[in-house]
Amino acid sequence: MKIGVPKEVKPGEGRVAMLPDQVKALVETGYDVVVQKGAGQASGVADQDYAGADAQMADTGKDVFGNAELIIKVKEIIPEEYEFLRPEHVIFTNVHGAANREQIDKMLEVGLTAIAAEETHPYGSPNSALAGEVGAFEGLRLVFAPHGGSGRHFLNHYGAPAAEALVIGLGGVGQGALRTLLKLGVRVKAFDIDRGARRRTLMQWEDSPLQVFDISELGNHLADADVIYNCVLWPKDRDDHLVFRSDLAKLSPTCVIVDISCDPAGAIETSRATTWDDPVYTEEGIRHFCVDNIPGAVPVTASAGYARDLFDNIKLIAGLGALEACRQSPHLAKGLTCSAGELILAEAGRFQNREFTPVDEFLQRSSA
């Protein structure tokens, strides 16, 4: 199986799916790897670094898709890449298929196999911690008065209290946010539905200005927040929310909502995706920061983490084929989105109100 790494073409995305170390290891194992020229530029990796790892260099994304079966990417397939897709392709990337019917339609039409990288990592997307860390930093910047914030410092000074942040969700994204906020001295109230997550978080940060609550208590603390961080991935087929539009009236007018997980109308009813070029909008008088590609701001670091976390799965898919790899790895199977014209990802089927084949059923049938 020949492996291809195209340059990301989504606006604002500078990450790359594999670094020269991973390429070299694959080549030494016996695989051919083709990398598009310029793919690693924003991540601090020159073409000669890939060439030095014995990658085959391609001029265009079309050349990569045309010469490889296993395509390793960071972001979803976007329309300008549709014409490159072939039935024999295995696409391993952050598909985000439930919210993107057009992409799923194209994949089903072509008949390729797609595995959603964001579903295969046991702690969420490989860059989830970075998203939490960078998102926390951006939220604090928006607390400063020149940006419309409360004007509080992130540390206690001269008897004035530090900024107060609410962190919703204590998974990988939430833990990343806590690392930034608590190390800076911010007063944090954190919320989660899981008692174990709450207890572990309290033990980890027991000497910090942190309080932890059940999610049911969130509404009691909205009024005092300088910044609210949503770190909860919200199922696409749910029509309820954690913060409703009507709740915005409870907030201070200087409060800012930073939706790091960024599910449109998800945990935060008024969320919609923005970009780094225009990251903030206002709803009901409350500023919202909802960039859907936060790790893209630190592509050098993010690419290193993403490439490392995906590498074992890449080797498994390349060695066994996509479907057999999914049979042997429950984490990979969880991300199996479509294959041979069948939709498999349950969340996409439910959200898009279309038929899908449960993954276990599909894998068992396809092995017969």
Give ranges for CATH 3.40.50.720 in the chain. Answer: 3-124+298-366, 128-297
Band (341; pLDDT cuts 50, 70, 90)? very high
Question: What are the structure tokens assigned to 22, written together?
Answer: 């991973």
Residue 122's pLDDT is 65
Q: Are 95 and 118 in contact (CB under 8 A)?
A: yes
What's the angle, vertex CA 127, arms to CA 121 and CA 128, rounded to 5?
80
Q: Compute the distance between CA of residue 12 and CA of residue 91 in angstroms, rounded to an integer.
A: 21
Question: What are the structure tokens assigned to 122, written together?
Answer: 């046991």
Cβ contacts of 360 within 8 Å, gap of 6 or more: 333
Say yes or no to pLDDT of 263 above 90: no
What are the φ/ψ torsions at residue 267 (nearest 5 degrees)?
Answer: -60, -35
* CATH 3.10.450.50 is held by the domain 128-297: no
**How does 316-349 read in b/e, with b if 16+ C-beta sit within 10 Å?**
bbbebbbbebbbebeebbbbbbbbeeebbbebbb
* Interval 82-98 mean pLDDT: 95
What residue type is assigned to position 247 of the chain?
Answer: D
Cβ contacts of 158 within 8 Å, gap of 6 or more: none
- Residue bearing the bigger pLDDT, 25 or 366: 25
What are the φ/ψ torsions at residue 47 (nearest 5 degrees)?
Answer: -60, -35
Q: Are 124 and 333 in contact (CB under 8 A)?
A: no
Q: What is the pLDDT of residues 172-229, one digit of tens each?
A: 999 999 999 999 999 999 999 999 999 999 999 998 999 999 999 999 999 999 999 9
Q: Are 120 and 335 in contact (CB under 8 A)?
A: yes
pTM over 0.85: yes
Q: Which CATH class name applies to 3-124+298-366? A: alpha beta
Say yes or no to pLDDT of 66 above 90: yes
Residue 98's pLDDT is 87
Residue 120's pLDDT is 86
* Interval 283-303 mean pLDDT: 94
Residue 173's pLDDT is 94
* Interval 247-261 mean pLDDT: 97
Identify which of 280, 101, 218 has the alpha carbon closest to the alpha carbon of residue 272: 280
DSSP labels for 88-113?
Answer: T-EEEE----TT-HHHHHHHHHHT-E
Residue 368's pLDDT is 63
Q: Compute the distance between CA of residue 16 and CA of residue 182 in angstroms, rounded to an integer.
A: 30
Say yes or no to pLDDT of 11 above 70: yes
Say yes or no to pLDDT of 318 above 90: yes
Percentage of the chain lying above the pLDDT 90 cut: 86
Q: What is the pLDDT of residues 103-115, one digit of tens each?
A: 999 999 999 999 9
Cβ contacts of 285 within 8 Å, gap of 6 or more: 248, 253
Q: What's the N-to-C CA distance of the chain in angstroms?
A: 22
Q: What is the pLDDT of residues 121-171, one digit of tens each?
A: 766 666 888 999 999 999 999 999 999 999 999 998 999 999 999 999 999
Mean pLDDT over the full length of the chain:
94
* Interval 64-86 mean pLDDT: 97
Residue ranges in 292-354 assigned as alpha helix (H): 299-320, 322-328, 330-335, 346-351
